[in-house]
A and B are shown apart, each in its own frame.
Chain A
Amino acid sequence: AQTVTQSQPEMSVQEAETVTLSCTYDTSENNYYLFWYKQPPSRQMILVIRQEAYKQQNATENRFSVNFQKAAKSFSLKISDSQLGDTAMYFCAFKPGAQKLVFGQGTRLTINP
């Protein structure tokens, strides 16, 4: 079975600090996509960043970057210069084919002023 594990149920950091959220996955597929979604208190699911397994270069979107280690099946999200608006649930998701997404359990991130 394909699974995604987020080992940190909750994290808390001070504003402007850097924080890293962990994600590991299990698959026998060779090509796939990985995503991080953000869910603020408004309940919306917002795409933060995505990474193709064939690309060795780590994806970056402004203050958000990933550390993708394919051999270790690890896909962590780094948020630099954290802001109060980054407070949210963060979900790691794995897409082995054209359709299905498999989600991790989520990490609740709180940015403190």
Chain B
Amino acid sequence: NAGVTQTPKFQVLKTGQSMTLQCAQDMNHEYMSWYRQDPGMGLRLIHYSVGAGITDQGEVPNGYNVSRSTTEDFPLRLLSAAPSQTSVYFCASSGTGMRQPQHFGDGTRLSIL
């Protein structure tokens, strides 16, 4: 059981480049989300989805796009990378219900030069 799989694990981009961080889960979870982790700030929610075709903004959505065409996949797109987006990105999924914990991928370390 793979759980939540994120690719790539590391990436270096130049300012203005675009890229997509991939996230896939095999647990049939309805809820998926993207977080960014910066030193001293914990994890902050970027975007989330409560099911295929449904997405919504989190705390820090600017500069990021998401879509959810299938239950399994939830990619995060950076349209024009900026140095302020240098961070570690985590994808997470969970079943429905308050009690369900979120399961995290291993993270992507992204550096924007």
Chain A residues near B (Cβ < 8 Å):
4, 6, 9, 31-33, 35, 42-45, 47, 50, 52, 91, 95, 97-106
Q: Which residues of A contact B48 (CB under 8 A)?
A: 99-100
Q: Which of A42, A47, A91, A95 contacts B42 (CB 8 A)?
A: A91
Complex CA gap A50/B97 in Å reads 14
Complex CA gap A45/B99 in Å reads 17
Q: A33-B99, A101-B102 are in contact. Are A9 and B40 (CB under 8 A)?
A: yes
CB pair A32–B98 under 8 Å, yes or no, is yes
CB pair B96–A105 under 8 Å, yes or no, is no
Main secondary structure of the interface of A (DSSP, over half): loop
15-74 of chain B: CB within 8 A of chain A: 31, 33, 35, 40-45, 48, 50, 58
Q: A44-B104, A44-B106, A52-B99 are in contact. Are A99 and B31 (CB under 8 A)?
A: yes
8 contacts between A and B (CB under 8 A): A33-B98, A43-B106, A44-B104, A97-B98, A98-B98, A99-B31, A99-B50, A100-B48
Known: A42-B106, A98-B96, A105-B40. 8 other contacts (CB 8 A): A6-B42, A9-B40, A35-B101, A44-B106, A91-B42, A101-B43, A101-B102, A104-B42
